[in-house]
Amino acid sequence: MDRWDGGAPLDDPGADGPGGPGPEGVADAVRVVPLRRRHLRSVVHIEEECYPQPWSATLFLSEIAQRSSRRYTVATIGPLVVGYCGLMVVEEDGHITTLSVDPGWHRRGIGTVLLLDQATAAPAHGVRHLTLEVRASNEAAQALYRRFGFAPVGVRRNYYAEQGEDAIVMWAHDIDTADYRLRLREIEAGLRSSQ
């Protein structure tokens, strides 16, 4: 069930994207809140825009029902849902199950805000290490994950079977340390300074 696509280039705080104003103030305007039923229509719409085999509303409902081992959030700007992110907790490991940004809001720091929220919250759920899979061709997403301390550790061949594409498995270790908290503070400061 887990899949990590990374979609198109998630964000580049210094670049304009289609569908609205430039990045100025966007990251500060983003609110990250728990994914609720009321968000599902928007989430599924983004899902269908981003993936050839999108998750259904039913699958998202089953995920958010598992409250002891899942943490799903949405990024909102005013009334709009502009992205979402999921975390599955298995003992000390947290698996980023999905991270997607509405294509009209790409390249504005929203993916960074969502991942920052999950990485900051994960230690309170007992998570010491984070992992995810990303398309081998998605260099922009890989660059984002490297900023968060993720490093490649392996390849899952033909993971994205619909396109016959491999996934790179990435891990960020020891996210419960002072050094990692400092990394997250620096990422957050970088978002603010780009506004």
Q: What angle do CA 56, 48, 131 make, to 5 degrees?
A: 75
Q: What is the pLDDT of residues 70-105, one digit of tens each?
A: 999 999 999 999 999 999 999 999 999 999 999 999
CATH number at residue 145: 3.40.630.30
Residue 8 covered by a domain = no
Whole-number pLDDT of residue 27: 73
Distance from C-alpha of 64 to C-alpha of 41, rounded to nearest angstrom: 14
Whole-number pLDDT of residue 28: 78
**What is the side-by-side order of every strand in the sheet holding 151-160?**
31-34, 70-77, 80-90, 93-101, 129-135, 165-172, 151-160
Name the catalytic one among 145, 159, 160, 180: 145
Residue 158 covered by a domain = yes
**Which domain does 167 fall in, by range?**
26-193
- Is 159 known to be catalytic? no
Determine how many CB atoms are found less than 10 A away from the CB of residue 174. 11
Residue 139 covered by a domain = yes
- Is 51 known to be catalytic? no
- Please name the helix (run of DSSP H) or strand (run of DSSP E) that holds residue 94, with its range, or none: strand 93-101
Domain count within the chain = 1
Residue 20 covered by a domain = no
Residue 4 covered by a domain = no
Whole-number pLDDT of residue 4: 40
Name the catalytic one among 133, 159, 160, 180: 133
- Please name the helix (run of DSSP H) or strand (run of DSSP E) that holds residue 189, with its range, or none: helix 178-193
Whole-number pLDDT of residue 41: 97
Kindly give the pairing relationship between strand 151-160 and strand 165-172.
Answer: antiparallel
Work out the percent of the chain whose per-residue pLDDT is above 70.
Answer: 86
pTM: 0.86
Residue 145 covered by a domain = yes
Residue 157 covered by a domain = yes
List, in sequence order, every residue forming a beta bridge with 100; answer none if it has no partner. 84
Residue 50 covered by a domain = yes
- Please name the helix (run of DSSP H) or strand (run of DSSP E) that holds residue 142, with its range, or none: helix 139-147
Distance from C-alpha of 83 to C-alpha of 47, rounded to nearest angstrom: 9
Distance from C-alpha of 182 to C-alpha of 165, rounded to nearest angstrom: 35
Distance from C-alpha of 129 to C-alpha of 172, rounded to nearest angstrom: 6
Determine how many CB atoms are found less than 10 A away from the CB of residue 176. 15
